[in-house]
Structure 1
């Protein structure tokens, strides 16, 4: 099995802070770290103060006690509210579709764990994500999990070099994925071995529409229009719809189904098209974070050859597809925006989602989709 510590330079008795969510993944990660010789301190970050969070913290405490490791609670509610929840609501209000887990990992979860590690005298932090960290061309990067169906490299694609240098991912080298994790948990007598997986958005219990309404996102009905401006129906509020959505549009009399392809927040218009007009051929990606790739290397390749071939994931649950980065645009002196062309047209994606670029299994870079090209 590939070692999950190959990318770090550690002392034999290195101390590590492990983010313990109370689930089976982080619980097994704790034991794997112990078996690798780490002195583990379990830290449960409290992002939302509710019953579910309190139960998760108690589950983590019980697992830590079973393993004989220290367990600490860290209040991260303010940081989470400011960096994740507020951003989530603002993005929907602006007509975009956010990816809160990517935002959380870069601006809340990993920074909180590093902060805890510094306070507790630990050199490293760890999580239960299914991904690996590798060195490539002198840089650190997230790479796909050895168990492809559970890969979570997308979720860690915006991490900086400084964050990656502190991070250890024990589950990324397991070739049998979640089945093996549950098997190990049962074998080690961990009380969460059969605990169900958590939901995708941890701070929403129930409808995200109710959540947004509770935070002041009011209903503003408006026109549903085609890309050439023809009105074909009425929407109930832009935040109720997702790019690519086909059902629930209540548009009658059309020869074939319409798909949502855009939200024009300024005009309060929902834009739709038939399937033939719903695919995309490229995108502009902003706020790019560089991992295995660098802005200079990509820019030089585009200048010399016209493009930089790689692959890209346009949504977490979509497969990576072949593409070429064709330009790197300088904003405020920093090349933080890139244009990408897809080798073949793909189903549309939503501004606000993340585009994650790969060289094989390794993350080159990632950024927020600003706009798509049709």
Structure 2
């Protein structure tokens, strides 16, 4: 197969490309420039798309003996991933930019461009597995290394895009194995730190980034009964489940810590309360993506609402409008409903709800609401 290998400049993508070459594929490397103002160097483990990263990607391609290109996708990244991030916070929701990046950039813009250029698949360094049934239809599964599993942020792909993806690292036992393999292959990124946090907020100050882009207007902090407890510096910088940074100055009457229960952007209000009020027993989601025919009746599953978060036993069913398309392609219309067998704490609108059958992804949706 002709394979386009996405080279971020890190160790995972370099080893994934090496494995694609070793498997006999005709591989070309591409580095995605996603930042409009590329720094010379990364800030430790934060940030992305620095000139240093592009250089590391080029050197990996040289070691592997494959062609190498840099594609400027910064405008598309800003218009989709960053714009969605800002719009969601402005609306009082909590987005996951990695999900949106996989949806709009890596497995939409990049994959579509690769297909137009005659490539059969895109290979990335994600930790997940693809299995195929007797009919050849692909299914998405957790990686062997559960600590690094990224199936949660990949679930938005759907089966049609999954059919044109390769995840060569899905069967590795640990990140240490990947680093050792990189060293054995002479790849200079073998000891490069992992990236974490939000890649386009290089200094890690998400609240500062939001204030800079969205502005900051003080407003009331109230309890669940509406009693004013204090003042915040801007509701857009708060998220459900947050405990730090409330600056209320006085404890609750019972001495218990307070947490953000709700963000109301229309009135610029932050609602706080005790931790038990964060427990929910069910949720709804929209823009559902299914890897199987959407379940019309309640179906047992495991629910995950955060990357690397724990799952809880639950039941899921499709809500009105969810259908399965032709040739095994899932429609992204309608939504889902989930009811949990045990309460789940701190569910925020805007997060992704991913449902599993064992280690296999059944579907995904963006959370719109929850109930107790």
Q: Tell me the TM-score normalized by structure 1.
A: 0.89
- Matching of residues 40-59 of structure 1 within 5 Å: 40-49=27-36, 50-51=38-39, 52=42, 53=49, 54-59=51-56
Q: Which residue of 2 aligns with 1:276?
A: 276
Q: Secondary structure at the match of 1:158?
A: helix
Q: CA deviation at 1:334?
A: 7.9
Q: Which residue of 2 aligns with 1:30?
A: 17
Q: Within 1, Cα distance between the matches of 2:142 and 2:211?
A: 37
Do the aligned residues in 2 keep the contact of 1:45 with 1:112 (CA within 8 Å)? no
- Matching of residues 1-374 of structure 1 within 5 Å: 14-49=1-36, 50-51=38-39, 52=42, 53=49, 54-135=51-132, 139-174=137-172, 176-206=173-203, 207-215=205-213, 217-251=214-248, 252-254=250-252, 255=254, 256-291=256-291, 293-295=292-294, 298-299=295-296, 302=297, 307-326=298-317, 328-330=319-321, 336-374=334-372
Distance 1:324 1:186, change over 3 A: same
CA shift digits 1:230-275 (9 cap, x unpaired): 3222222112222111222233141211111111112222112212
Q: Within 2, Cα distance between the matches of 1:225 and 1:244?
A: 15
Q: Which residue of 1 aligns with 2:46?
A: none
Q: Within 2, Cα distance between the matches of 1:148 and 1:270?
A: 35
RMSD: 1.9
Q: Secondary structure at the match of 2:315?
A: strand
Q: CA deviation at 1:353?
A: 0.7
Distance 1:272 1:331, change over 3 A: farther
Do the aligned residues in 1 keep the contact of 2:99 with 2:154 (CA within 8 Å)? yes
Q: Within 1, Cα distance between the matches of 2:192 and 2:175?
A: 12
Q: Within 2, Cα distance between the matches of 1:101 and 1:268?
A: 27
Q: Secondary structure at the match of 1:271?
A: strand
Do the aligned residues in 2 keep the contact of 1:312 with 1:357 (CA within 8 Å)? yes
Q: Within 1, Cα distance between the matches of 2:322 and 2:293?
A: 16
Q: Within 2, Cα distance between the matches of 1:272 and 1:18?
A: 46
Do the aligned residues in 2 keep the contact of 1:326 with 1:341 (CA within 8 Å)? no
- Which structure 1 segments of 5+ residues have no match? 1-13
Q: Within 1, Cα distance between the matches of 2:198 and 2:290?
A: 26
Do the aligned residues in 2 keep the contact of 1:355 with 1:366 (CA within 8 Å)? yes
Q: Within 2, Cα distance between the matches of 1:354 and 1:319?
A: 14
Q: CA deviation at 1:331?
A: 8.2
Q: Tell me the TM-score normalized by structure 2.
A: 0.89
Do the aligned residues in 1 keep the contact of 2:318 with 2:334 (CA within 8 Å)? no
Do the aligned residues in 2 keep the contact of 1:17 with 1:116 (CA within 8 Å)? no
Bigger shift: residues 78-87 or 135-144: 135-144
Q: Within 2, Cα distance between the matches of 1:186 and 1:101?
A: 28
Bigger shift: residues 93-102 or 113-122: 113-122
Q: Within 2, Cα distance between the matches of 1:81 and 1:219?
A: 21
CA shift digits 1:195-252 (9 cap, x unpaired): 111233211111122222332x111222222223232222221122221112222331
Do the aligned residues in 1 keep the contact of 2:278 with 2:347 (CA within 8 Å)? no
Q: Within 1, Cα distance between the matches of 2:177 and 2:334?
A: 40
Q: CA deviation at 1:169?
A: 0.4
Aligned pair count?
350
CA shift digits 1:10-42 (9 cap, x unpaired): xxxx11001000100011111111111111110
CA shift digits 1:263-289 (9 cap, x unpaired): 111222211221222211111111111
Q: Secondary structure at the match of 2:341?
A: strand
Q: Within 2, Cα distance between the matches of 1:29 and 1:79?
A: 25
Q: Secondary structure at the match of 2:334?
A: strand
CA shift digits 1:69-100 (9 cap, x unpaired): 11111111111111111111111111111101
